[in-house]
Chains A and B, each alone.
Chain A
Amino acid sequence: MSDKLKQIINKQNQKATEEVDHSDEIVQLVGFIIGEEEYAVPILSIQEIIKPIGWTRVPQTPQYILGVFNLRGSVIPLIDLRVKFGLSAKNHNEETRFFVLKQGDEVAGFVIDRLTMAIRINKGDIGPAPDTIDSDDSMIEGVGKQEGRILTILKVNKLLERDF
């Protein structure tokens, strides 16, 4: 039986490994707009993306922390990325979304202006953050280039880190 069968199995194995290799080079991101710029975070760090819902202000916090909101029974902080990035606050509109990011036990919601799309990008197309930005403190993981546009890829752990 077996020669043919072996061949097929081998082929399949090869294919499988090829696929793994292939996906290893591709990074999947979700892009979004804040102000004028397009940013992205790894798709696996996103717990969910929801339309804006009500929140409760928390006193004694910096401006960019809008407060907390109820996500199916969990109380989750809500951060306005516009304000955090030094832009002025803006009223929420039809396109506004809450990005719920998760890393380990830490979860937080981030307000973004507009979603763009899910992006598959080759690792090779991601460059380091500009030298002028101190790499340890920076929120920028790298800069992705694709079809003429530039994506700023953010560090999820930095976003979820309390800095006040």
Chain B
Amino acid sequence: MDEFQEILQDFLIESFELIEQLDHDLVELESTPEDLELLNGIFRVAHTVKGASSFLNFDVLTHLTHHMEDVLNKARHGDLLITPDVMDVILESVDLMKALLETIRDTSADSGIDVADCVAKLDKCSGGDGKVDTPVVVETPVVKEVSEVVEVEAEDEDELDYDSMDADEIEAEIERLLNTRQEEDKAKRAAKIASGEAVPSAPSVIDETPKEESKPQETPKEEPKPTPTQAPVPVKPTSAPSKDTKDDAKAAAPVKKAPAPVEQTIRVDVKRLDHLMNLIGELVLAKNRLIKINDDVEERYEGEEFLEELNQVVSIVSLVTTDLQIAVMKTRMLPIGKVFNKFPRMIRDLTRELNKQIELEISGEDTELDKSIVEVIGDPLVHIIRNSCDHGIEMPADRVAAGKEEMGTIKLKAYNEGNAIVIQIDDDGKGLDADMLKNKSLEKGIITEKEADSMSDKEAFTLIFKPGFSTAAQVTNVSGRGVGMDVVKTNIEKLNGIIDIESEIGVGTSLKLKIPLTLAIIQALLVGVQEEHYAIPLASVLETVRISQDEIYTVENRSVMRLRDEVLSLVHIGDIFEVERILDSSEHAYVVVLGLGSSKLGLIVDTLIGQEEIVIKSLGEYLKGIEGIAGATIRGDGGVTLIVDVAALMQMARGVKASVVNEVNNSAKLTNEKSKASDYKVMIVDDSKTDRMIMRKALEPLGITLVEANDGQEALNTLKSGEHNFDAMLIDIEMPRMDGYSLAGEIKKYNKYKNLPLIAVTSRTGKADRMRGVESGMVEYITKPYSADYLSSVVQRNVNFKSEFL
């Protein structure tokens, strides 16, 4: 039973794969009915499914596919012309086949679907010339045919072309009887690949057939064929023409003979690949960390010999990690053709339904995308293409009137662009009418009149993505519900993708979907605001500009700036993420121009840190769905950096009013009223305990509160903790971890410490030292040794010590 299940699973997976290809091939066949290679391929599918299903006792499916096979076989030998009507029947049968397979998948049985009707139609197609009369059950009739064939061959020459066909049947039967199913499964995979190899042989066979038809007397050529057919081992020669049918199971030799390289594949559970991808993600994080440590070590041990070696190792590790990451990503890549394949069929059905003439041109179907993206991209594309067919391409008569060709064209192409893949859908239809779109949206209350007025054409085009929007006068089978394009937008944005529309009235519309190659690891721009960092997916970053504060204007309570010819609305990242403004904002700011589809936004940040490859991690169940945050990543220093959700951010930006730059510069003067001497607080920063003691001794008589710190870092932490409000700081210059100059520099970055007096107490007496002290923001410079009185008086002066406390 288990074994059966296993075979069944294999059969289903394989059949669905084959059918996917089938749709595509069939439509192509309709346009090039004489393409024998295609026909052979299609025939093979029907044949394969028939063979396997009969083995698995799916009688209904066998019955259906057998009749399909008949029709296709006729076509293959030129007895039947593939007209659209015939194609309709074939397509219908393919649909039935799909339905049957789905039933089998769900119930492990193929009952419940009536195929009689379709079979009858198929018979009508194939039954025209009677030879292959609709066998109801596969087995017996075909066996009969075997003998028939032999006879036929012996007597009739004008029916010659049938023998090759019947030979196929025989061969199929023998195969079936030989119960080579399991082997076949393997073989089929090989055959699929080898079909490239089988192709060369096909034309030669087929070449024969027409020749035979036209000159039946040319017997020598076909002589070798009939003779062995009669023998008990007829398979061998006949297998020559039908090699393409997938007989490789029996004959390993043909495969070896084949010059084409046999591609070897393994089916791997996606979960394993996901796991692998996660591990690589961890590795990338570790690599980033290693690089960071390497930099630190380099700084610390400059010139040491081992650095060279460390450098080499680090660069090799990072190189290999990157390669490894690409390699693993590739294992998850699927050609986008997997998605594209279903469109020819769709277009065909649509053209018949809509009575339009539309041609689909596909290119770049080999372009590869991450599996998870391929899965999501299908639906949006269906909607876009349906839309193009229904709204884009005009009726043939209208097209002629407009001086265009009767046949409309939709071009579907995919190509790589940097770290993204672009899927472009062009049609040469009537194009989008910006005014009409605006009017419709007004009617439906999607936009206000004011919005409509200020809308550019390009912005108007994006109205088609609004939920509830539809230009169709009535809801048809194809479109008009106003749902489709909304789905497109949400799906694409989910993938961090960008949609771009270009359109010209009367000429056509072009839609570009730009999607990142993979979802797990992305390139990001790291920005800083105050003391926080955020990562912005690079795919949404158009450019960055440095501006000065006076380039920012306020229009209707919103900040804007002029960027070349455009007016760009601005929002401060700190306003969106409620960042406390503790650091002094500088004269200049950086604007990160974000683009999502045709909407743009300038995001003001304090600093640009750089571009980095980041691994997206979820914030977990507890914090999921935080507006504006798409996830988090772990940086080289082990810290967590949040990733900005650009789409949400743009939404949020609309609600943020322009507090942006014109923030009140409330110089946080620490004018706490002092009521006693101990209200004054002074911090002593010195690494020497003795020195701190000396200062303490000198200041204690004043009765003020003294707090000590060992070095700059500690002093900064104490200051930032906000536990004390200091009135002055005494700072030694030479200290471990952070020296006095750096400490002063750090302190002066904060708005509220602008007016905090910093007094240097040092044994450095050089003029240059004094200058540096002033530059870093020190107000006084006391050189050691000093008298207690002098120190006391300097401190008193700087903290405005009230003499009455003395």
Q: Is the CB of A91 within 8 A of B723?
A: yes
B residues 261-310 touching A (CB-CB < 8 Å): 282, 285
A118 CB → nearest B CB, Å: 26
Q: Is the CB of A77 within 8 A of B622?
A: yes
Across the interface, which residues of A come within 8 angstroms of B576, CB to CB? 59
Q: Which residue of B lies closest to A65 (CB)?
A: B623
Alpha-carbon separation in the docked complex, A106 to B532 (Å)? 26
Given contacts A56-B632, A73-B282, A73-B634, contact A61 B640 (CB under 8 A): no
Across the interface, which residues of A come within 8 angstroms of B632, CB to CB? 56, 68, 75
Alpha-carbon separation in the docked complex, A58 to B632 (Å)? 10
Across the interface, which residues of B come within 8 angstroms of A108, CB to CB? 620, 622
Across the interface, which residues of B come within 8 angstroms of A54, CB to CB? 638-639
Q: Is the CB of A58 within 8 A of B532?
A: no
Alpha-carbon separation in the docked complex, A59 to B628 (Å)? 9
SS class, residues of chain B in contact with chain A: loop
Q: Is the CB of A75 within 8 A of B622?
A: no
Cβ of A30 within 8 Å of any chain B Cβ, yes or no, is no
Across the interface, which residues of A come within 8 angstroms of B282, CB to CB? 73
Q: Which residue of A lies closest to B635 (CB)?
A: A70
Given contacts A76-B620, A77-B619, contact A58 B638 (CB under 8 A): no
Across the interface, which residues of B come within 8 angstroms of A58, CB to CB? 619, 623, 626, 629, 642
A135 CB → nearest B CB, Å: 23
Across the interface, which residues of B come within 8 angstroms of A74, CB to CB? 617
B613 CB → nearest A CB, Å: 16
Q: Which residue of B lies closest to A56 (CB)?
A: B640
Q: Is the CB of B623 within 8 A of A68?
A: yes
A interface residue count range (under 10 / 10 to 19 / 20 to 34 / 35 or more) = 20 to 34
B606-648 vs A: 1/0 string, CB under 8 Å? 0000000000011111110011110010100011111000000
Across the interface, which residues of B come within 8 angstroms of A70, CB to CB? 634, 638-640
Across the interface, which residues of B come within 8 angstroms of A15, CB to CB? none
B interface residue count range (under 10 / 10 to 19 / 20 to 34 / 35 or more) = 20 to 34
Alpha-carbon separation in the docked complex, A105 to B623 (Å)? 13
Cβ of A162 within 8 Å of any chain B Cβ, yes or no, is yes
Q: Is the CB of A55 within 8 A of B640?
A: yes
Q: Which residue of B lies closest to A76 (CB)?
A: B620
Q: Is the CB of B634 within 8 A of A75?
A: yes
Across the interface, which residues of A come within 8 angstroms of B642, CB to CB? 56, 58-59, 68
B564-591 vs A: 1/0 string, CB under 8 Å? 0000000000001111000000000000
Q: Is the CB of B578 within 8 A of A77?
A: no
A66 CB → nearest B CB, Å: 11
Cβ of A60 within 8 Å of any chain B Cβ, yes or no, is yes
Q: Is the CB of B629 within 8 A of A59?
A: yes
Cβ of A57 within 8 Å of any chain B Cβ, yes or no, is yes
Q: Is the CB of B621 within 8 A of A162?
A: yes
Q: Is the CB of B623 within 8 A of A59?
A: no
Q: Is the CB of B620 within 8 A of A107?
A: yes
Q: Is the CB of A75 within 8 A of B640?
A: yes
Cβ of B721 within 8 Å of any chain A Cβ, yes or no, is yes
Given contacts A54-B639, A56-B640, A70-B639, contact A75 B620 (CB under 8 A): yes
Q: Is the CB of B622 within 8 A of A106?
A: yes
Cβ of A69 within 8 Å of any chain B Cβ, yes or no, is yes
Given contacts A75-B619, A106-B621, A107-B620, contact A69 B640 (CB under 8 A): yes
Q: Is the CB of A60 within 8 A of B628?
A: yes
A139 CB → nearest B CB, Å: 15
Q: Which residue of B lies closest to A59 (CB)?
A: B577
Across the interface, which residues of A come within 8 angstroms of B721, CB to CB? 91
A89 CB → nearest B CB, Å: 11
Alpha-carbon separation in the docked complex, A160 to B617 (Å)? 19
B633 CB → nearest A CB, Å: 8
* Chain A to chain B contacts (Cβ below 8 Å), 14 pairs: A55-B640, A57-B532, A60-B627, A65-B623, A70-B638, A73-B634, A75-B619, A75-B634, A75-B640, A91-B721, A91-B723, A105-B621, A106-B620, A106-B622
Residues of A participating in the B interface, judged by any CB pair closer than 8 Å: 54-61, 65, 67-70, 73-77, 91, 105-108, 160, 162
When A and B form their complex, which 5 residue pairs have the shortest distance between CB atoms, in order from nearest? A59-B577, A56-B640, A75-B632, A77-B622, A75-B617
